[in-house]
Structure 1
């Protein structure tokens, strides 16, 4: 008689071994190695006239895996489908179940679906304690996408091959994306660039130097395109160089800067590209490894939660631990009076899924570095810092705007600087930006209204729209 009564199916063989250790000898955990069947690449696999009936074919490589699962079910009275907690994972569970039904391999066994948000003992046991049925809505969403993939790709790709020898394929997403790119390129080619100029000047005061940008000329406020050519820019430059300037209006305004929410899939990919130079696929491959687990002190341990998510929330126990770690590492002043809450801006976001976060905030990047290779360590450091910072106190800053005004009041140059009074979450993490021009101004010397200024250098710069 078999030693186990329950068969658990996951996608990855690495996860299978770890999860089997967490669950014990009454369970046999097997891996599907991802999808087990697909639509054959021949005409008729999807029949639009028959309510989009679909014909599936088990992948030859998956035949043995399905036989192993079917053989294991001969001795089991329960099947748990524990593939990944997303639409593709739901689809894989559905395919496995349908294939086992066709093989008549289930008998009277009870079938349940569970999901693991992280590969840790607590997360696995928590998932096992809350079984459910396969989500038919997620499966239907998968089927609709797969049918469209087939109908668009199968019909368009041969046309593409005939018209453009060497082309690879057409698809549901890439064909539409290519059209958008082509339309945008046509707009760019048809666009007539417009010349404009900006002017900055370096000023010296008693307490230091600063750079300001021209905002008013001849008593009139300038917009982006006001200085249309080099002649106008040269005239403005000459006026500034000939003028006598002093500090005009000085406006100080306190501001609070709040941390960003923890990562979702898209923001992780964006930030890893900005800060680490990783491609989207490289980021997801590394994150998959951190999720499935690495060897930490002789035990395979999942270091982050599931990385395909659009939810920005963190579990209550994770927030509690996060706040404790912040207090321990940075002190009580960096812990807000109440936990921060976030909600997704996306209308169709799956709020039930947690954000991407460390499975334990006590596993600091410094401690984990010896267990991770270079790119893993970099991505874990990014995820850990962003998650921890999301629960830290806001930064307190003072934004100062200073006008350098000519003695006749006709010409004004303006500069805005930001001084951090309390760094808050910025002590740990600052979000990257795609455009360097978006960054806030740096610090300014102490300036007093009416103080005389010396004009050092005036710098006109040409631009085009």
Structure 2
């Protein structure tokens, strides 16, 4: 029987730790969270002091049961989940489960944390336990509850006003706004012309380049020469006055120091792995998790890096000593600074008890353990190891030279060069840069001195145009999220994944482009929920959650301050915002043939052009956009051309004409007066033979759909929600106790007689709409009644009197 039970999050970690602790210890994994909020309305009850209703995570039931079984036998239960808020909350939830099952009597509950999975770190943690941090648990609960309340109230509003299946999140929405705003900047960008002037010079046999710095006695600004005519005038004057030779009039030499980059934190690791390895944020975190949990190296399983979710730049003293030892032996004592380099975190909430992401031992050089790792693991470990070591090396010393050649009417050509005098940390590692056109190498200058006469080989001009700001890459988006205070290190990967999975953004050449639906959602939220996607508001809320985690604020008042104005705004927008307004519908013009309006908007299956409106007697015409066409930029002519696009493919053996096109519901093949969707490929490349296969499959599916057919056209069909009766105009529901195959013609007629009429288009619908508007006005005047109804909708039933949230302060014997 194991006297001690230790609970971690992952099985890989459990296996390694059990080896370190030996007999008398049983280590089990929770496989992540063991409880979560009820996945439906009513899990957070604002009216009941923000009571939270938790349920066991179903997929982890067998792991929970295993923990319960072993807990019965154990004397001491060690909670060894991760050292962040999520890990703290998992430990608390484990204790709550054990408490609900009356298993804590006579048990010692201890919380242990460690930032690396090594024998010494694990044994030290177990020897020095602490209590559960209820401040961290409160912060995690508040974050989860906030995200839940935003999602469960904003998302249904998007379904109603824009289209079903959309979602809005507390941090994902400001992140989407960043991407959409950047795209708007790019679309609004107007390029400007400018010219640069270069002198190709030579000293003896060594050619070098210079740039026009001063022209006619004035410092040259970027747009001073902004067209061909001005460039030609300047070149003519410079060439005639420079002649064949110039004298070096001023030589300036300087030295500058370049400091090594700080060791990695979560955000910088994600950025650098994106730049240098091409990894997504999610892939980086997955591989880092593997390196943290441990690999078998030299016959022993151990973690290779410290915990990968951190915003602390702190390095432990013994780690620094280990790093300095490796630097001295491998690179030379001259590359060691007299005192260790220290780095200060920008994050207010960085906990110095945590460490930066580093190799657990600098002695484990990447090449020496390469055989124990796969290629991706090796590349990431190599990156972390090098950054760790470089952070404790001396500065690099860069020598710079500026050579000025002044001539004629006070013109100046300047040649710049630089060279690395002392490599320092650059011997090991150099940080990457984003969106900067870097020189391939240092510009070489000959050994120049004042008074030297150089040959002028050529003076020439180069035309340039300004470029729009670049789209976000994963690296620059993570950097922006960090700078704006949107989310925290552990959330960046999930924010990006959510945006991609929801089809709010696409990746093209590793750059984020917002989709039409992403733009519509972002603009809807920015227009109607301005504060909640405001970067400062989001950052202040994150700071408030950090304050809760430090014990400086209570979480319930924070929730109340957020919730009351938020739900009031949701209720108001539900009444006041029209569907057309929410969908960002664009009016393109008028169809010359019918005189009907031509609009473009998003729908369930993508963006489409519509001729006419739902209120017309005739059904509107629809056409889907071509690849590359966008809601914001499609023109009237491009939109009208979509209706002339059907590709005639041929005829079926039954004489049905076959064509391909894109419609409101996406690409399709038409045969006769019937349609079949094109799931793969597109209507512009599909062949007649491929179309016939789709048609045949559709005919078989339709045949299987028919249960009975009567002479007058009445049919009994299998539908999406079960069998039903139809005459083409009305659909009748079949009772559960009726056999659809046995229905008589008379029974079908009776079912149809009781079925409601289908909604009709045209004038009657318009009349109904006016009535609806009238009703809506009444609702506005009876504001109190509306609010009451809406509150009931949000809160559903009141939960049991047992307040889960209060447990945080006094539940476990650990706290």
Report the TM-score when normalising by structure 2: 0.55
1:60-117 CA-to-partner distances (Å, cap 9, x unmatched) read: 1222212211111112121111011111111111111112111212222111111121
2:737 is aligned to none
Residue 429 of structure 1: CA displacement?
0.9
Residue 409 of structure 1: CA displacement?
5.3
1:462 to 464, 469, 475: 464
Q: Structure 1: how far apart are the matches of 2:165 and 2:416?
A: 52
Residues 352 and 456 (structure 1), Cα distance of their counterparts in 2 relative to 1, 3 Å cut: farther
Indicate the larger mover: 300-309 or 245-254: 245-254
2:29 is aligned to 31
1:85 to 74, 83, 86: 83
Answer yes or no: is the 8 Å Cα contact 2:310–2:355 preserved in 1: yes
Residues 160 and 415 (structure 1), Cα distance of their counterparts in 2 relative to 1, 3 Å cut: farther
Residue 155 of structure 1: CA displacement?
1.4
Q: Structure 1: how far apart are the matches of 2:416 and 2:125?
A: 52
Q: Structure 1: how far apart are the matches of 2:159 and 2:198?
A: 54
What stretches of structure 2 of length at least 5 have no aligned partner?
468-815
Alignment of 1:56-455 (within 5 A): 56-165=54-163, 167-206=165-204, 208-242=206-240, 243-244=242-243, 245-406=246-407, 408=408, 410-437=410-437, 441-455=442-456
Answer yes or no: is the 8 Å Cα contact 1:402–1:415 preserved in 2: yes
What stretches of structure 1 of length at least 5 have no aligned partner?
none
Q: Structure 2: how far apart are the matches of 1:451 and 1:117?
A: 61
Q: Structure 1: how far apart are the matches of 2:93 and 2:256?
A: 54
1:33-57 CA-to-partner distances (Å, cap 9, x unmatched) read: 0011211221111112222111111
Q: What CA RMSD, in Å, does the superposition of the two structures yield over aligned residues?
A: 1.9
Q: Structure 1: how far apart are the matches of 2:222 and 2:252?
A: 23
Q: Structure 1: how far apart are the matches of 2:413 and 2:128?
A: 64
Residue 188 of structure 1: CA displacement?
4.3
Q: Structure 2: how far apart are the matches of 1:167 and 1:403?
A: 64
Residues 240 and 316 (structure 1), Cα distance of their counterparts in 2 relative to 1, 3 Å cut: same
Q: Structure 2: how far apart are the matches of 1:452 and 1:279?
A: 53
Answer yes or no: is the 8 Å Cα contact 1:199–1:461 preserved in 2: no
1:166-203 CA-to-partner distances (Å, cap 9, x unmatched) read: 65422111122223433444444445443322233322
For residue 117 of structure 1, give the secondary structure of its aligned residue in structure 2: coil
Report the TM-score when normalising by structure 1: 0.94
For residue 437 of structure 1, give the secondary structure of its aligned residue in structure 2: coil
Residue 398 of structure 1: CA displacement?
1.4
Residues 36 and 226 (structure 1), Cα distance of their counterparts in 2 relative to 1, 3 Å cut: same
Residues 94 and 234 (structure 1), Cα distance of their counterparts in 2 relative to 1, 3 Å cut: farther
Indicate the larger mover: 155-164 or 246-255: 155-164
2:706 is aligned to none
Q: Structure 1: how far apart are the matches of 2:403 and 2:254?
A: 12
Runs of 4+ in structure 1 over 6 Å off: none
Q: Structure 2: how far apart are the matches of 1:230 and 1:101?
A: 81
Residues 49 and 233 (structure 1), Cα distance of their counterparts in 2 relative to 1, 3 Å cut: farther
Q: Structure 1: how far apart are the matches of 2:179 and 2:144?
A: 24
For residue 437 of structure 2, give the secondary structure of its aligned residue in structure 1: helix
Residues 200 and 52 (structure 1), Cα distance of their counterparts in 2 relative to 1, 3 Å cut: farther
For residue 74 of structure 1, give the secondary structure of its aligned residue in structure 2: helix
Indicate the larger mover: 186-195 or 421-430: 186-195
Indicate the larger mover: 152-161 or 92-101: 152-161
Answer yes or no: is the 8 Å Cα contact 1:309–1:356 preserved in 2: yes
1:283-311 CA-to-partner distances (Å, cap 9, x unmatched) read: 11111100001111332111111111111
Indicate the larger mover: 306-315 or 416-425: 416-425
Indicate the larger mover: 374-383 or 440-449: 440-449
Answer yes or no: is the 8 Å Cα contact 2:393–2:425 preserved in 1: yes
Q: Structure 1: how far apart are the matches of 2:215 and 2:165?
A: 56
Residue 235 of structure 1: CA displacement?
2.3
For residue 28 of structure 1, give the secondary structure of its aligned residue in structure 2: strand
For residue 419 of structure 2, give the secondary structure of its aligned residue in structure 1: strand
Answer yes or no: is the 8 Å Cα contact 1:416–1:441 preserved in 2: no
Q: Structure 2: how far apart are the matches of 1:413 and 1:365?
A: 47
2:561 is aligned to none
Q: Structure 1: how far apart are the matches of 2:10 and 2:216?
A: 70
1:380-439 CA-to-partner distances (Å, cap 9, x unmatched) read: 111111110111122222111222322x25221223222112211111111111134356
Indicate the larger mover: 439-448 or 205-214: 439-448
Answer yes or no: is the 8 Å Cα contact 1:87–1:142 preserved in 2: yes
